Amino acid sequence: MSSTLSPAGAVPIDPSAAQPPVAQKISHETHLHDYTRTDDYFWLRQKSDASVTAYLQSENAYTDAVMKPTEALQKQLYDEMLSHIKQTDLQVPYKQGEYYYYSRTVEGQQYPLYARKHLRLDAPEEVTLDLNALARGHSFLGMGLYQVSDDGRLLAYSLDTTGYRQYTLHVRDLRTGKDLAEAIPRVDDAEWASDNKTLLYVTEDDVSKRNDTLWRHVLGTSKNEVVFHEADELYDVAIHRSLDRKYVFLQSSSKSTTETRYVRADQPAGAWKVVLARRTDHRYDVEHHDQRFLIRTNDGADDFRVVAAPVATPDRAHWTEIVPQRAGVHIGEMAVFERYLVLTERSGGFAGFEIYDFQTGKRRSVEFPETVHTAGPSFNREFVTSTFRFSYTSLVTPNSVFDLNMATGKRTLLKETEVPGYDKAAYASELRYATARDGTKVPLAIVYKRGVKLDGSAPLLLYGYGSYGISTNPAFSAARLALLDRGVIFVNAMIRGGGELGEKWRAAGNLRHKLNTFTDFVDSAEYLVAQKFTSKDRLAIQGGSAGGLLMGAVTNMRPDLFKAVLAQVPFVDVMNTMLDASLPLTTSEYLEWGNPNVKSDYDYMMQYSPYDNVKPAAYPAMLVDVSFNDSQVPYWEGAKLVARLRSLKSDKNPLLLKVNFGAGHGGASGRYDALKEVAFNYAFLLSQIAP
């Protein structure tokens, strides 16, 4: 591929091509803290009401009519994206027990097949799950669990067929390929005990979808016994098994505090013991190694440290520090092998690894040649090994899988994802820093095709998230090439509220500091304009879920700064959602956003809640994507935002709502359907910023 830029080929769209829907106004008042809020579109929450469905369908019809001129471009974009994907491909196999496990895709099929081979990679293939077969008759299919018993004979797996992230647990006999009688609903997590017949699994409640109960089930019986119930509505529970297979851990987690229980894997009916009792703002994780627990803790270390303690006495008085806190380094995941401890760490905004040798006490850092990159553990299922498997990618490097020799530091590339028609040398990536209004330096990861003029004329897509301490890792996207090849610059803004620069970075963008998230993004956009990466009339922004909250907030704050907005499954009806404890996620989110039942929290949240701050003003072009079966952010949040915007905005720019009636929070589940959604969104963006 040459470095020559392709013409954008964008097609302008006309919002007056059809009559936009006008949502009925039905006044609904909320009285709290001596305030009255009026919500004319509260009725859109009635999912089973035929008038709601009819309205959403009318929005889809309007969107289709306005976007009709872009159909040829959508097809062109889809074909281009597909041309960069090796449709028949194989995941690097990983070893677990006596088998090598992997997934593979077949051209023309929406979903992967999961398979294994016994002892050798040249052995006959055994297909464990064919998701294409399981998807028949369903418009959506999501797989949750994939857990093989210790003896390799049984597979516990879970499926969601609606998009609501409500999974049913099944057990398959891999010797026969047949499922057993078990079909347990609402399962979010599970682990096998050592006896190959006991399942320990976690279910969600039937109202708020909080993971709150641990159960024990013995195959072949009808008995499901409650082992633990988490009563505190701020907490969710999750289960995992140590890599040495000796212990099962149950962690109760709020946004600020954790507590871990454990049981021996060979004694699943035994009593569960607490490692360290919950203490406000103490977060910790536990693994097992050689008759001791390894504990990653923020006790005395904002960005965590690692200590060891005897299993019998894991209290703080018996801690021995293994890896201390270090300035500017955030310690993340632990991978514990027979001789080595591997820590996923983040420094300067980007991830790397630290290897600790239990025998020598020496540490080895694993560094990478590209400043802007992403690295993380891959499938590591063997305890007695000197090999650590990890994945690596960057904005210009396709996803790659490496084996690292923990003794020597030598890394071996097993596979770099093949991207047909891609020439890495034709693209450039760089790191810049925008200065926020309070002087904070905000990292910006940037990628573009060589030859783009940095004189303010280039179209640019600015992406952000900035919540929950989640890092927006800069990764390669084959689909994004369709934008880059048209001269669009892509920028990932690592704003406060995310986890890119550690716990202080996260804390500086949540609760009473949440406004920093939005002003960081605005200041990043202004920096990119000032540095002539783009101009206001070529600047588009994108975010989803909590990133959709970001989109709504910054658009209200600075509607003049952006040309186009893509808000995907956006959390924008902040006040109504956070005042409804019956909705999924609400109560556990009090520690992220605040509790509006508290007046001071209410007052702060009202400053940015996108739905509550829509005003009579000129707004940029907007496409709002929602999913009808979304359990994380209900469809009505984006639908209500569009309805209120349409009634108040003073401009004639496109305002489109696209409702996916057969998907959930992540959009379409099939890989070809997902690409069509991307092509649609890209066509919209290009129609606005790259005419």
Among candidate residues 523, 665, 669, 687, the one labeled active-site is 665
Residue 103: its H or E element: strand 99-105
Residue with tokens 């999750």: 238
Q: Which helix (H) or strand (E) holds 407?
A: none
Look at the alpha carbons of 250, 92, 371, 530 in this order and tell me if their dihedral is positive or negative: negative
Catalytic residue among 630, 631, 669, 687: 630
Q: Give CA–CA dist 530/540, Å, rounded.
A: 15
Find the catalytic residue in 103, 400, 545, 609. Answer: 545
As beta bridge partners, residue 404 has 388, 411
The order of strands in the sheet holding 441-449 is 427-435, 441-449, 489-493, 460-464, 539-544, 564-568, 621-627, 655-660
Residues comprising the chain, all counted: 691
Q: Is 580 a catalytic residue?
A: no
State the Cα torsion 159-161-162-163 to the nearest 10°.
50
Buried b (16+ CB within 10 A) or exposed e, 30-68: eeeeeeebebbbbbbbeeeeeebeebbebbbebbebbbe
User: Are the C-beta atoms of residues 322 and 356 closer than 8 Å to each other?
Assistant: yes
- Active site (annotated) includes residue 138: no
Phi-psi region of 305 (alpha: psi -120 to 50; beta: other; left: phi over 0): beta
Nearest to 92 by CA among 102, 84, 107, 79: 102
Q: How far does the chain reach from its first CA to its final CA, in angstroms?
A: 24
What is the helix, strand, coil percentage profile of the chain, to 5?
20, 35, 45
Report the C-alpha gap between 565 and 622 in whole angstroms. 5
545 is catalytic: yes
Q: Which residues pair with 356 in a beta bridge?
A: 341, 363
Q: Which of 144, 104, 139 is nearest to 673 (CA)?
A: 139
Q: Which two tokens stand for residue 189?
A: 């997590």
Residue 345 phi, psi (nearest 5): -125, 155
In terms of C-beta density within 10 A (0-12 exposed, 13-18 middle, 19 or more buried), how is residue 144 classed? middle
Q: How far is CA 314 from CA 322, 417, 478, 537, in A?
A: 14, 43, 47, 59
Strands of 258-264's sheet in order across: 236-241, 247-253, 258-264, 273-274
The pair of three-digit structure tokens given for residue 468, joined into one six-digit string: 């929950």
* Whole-number Å distance between alpha carbons of 112 and 242: 28
> Which active-site residues does the annotation give?
545, 630, 665
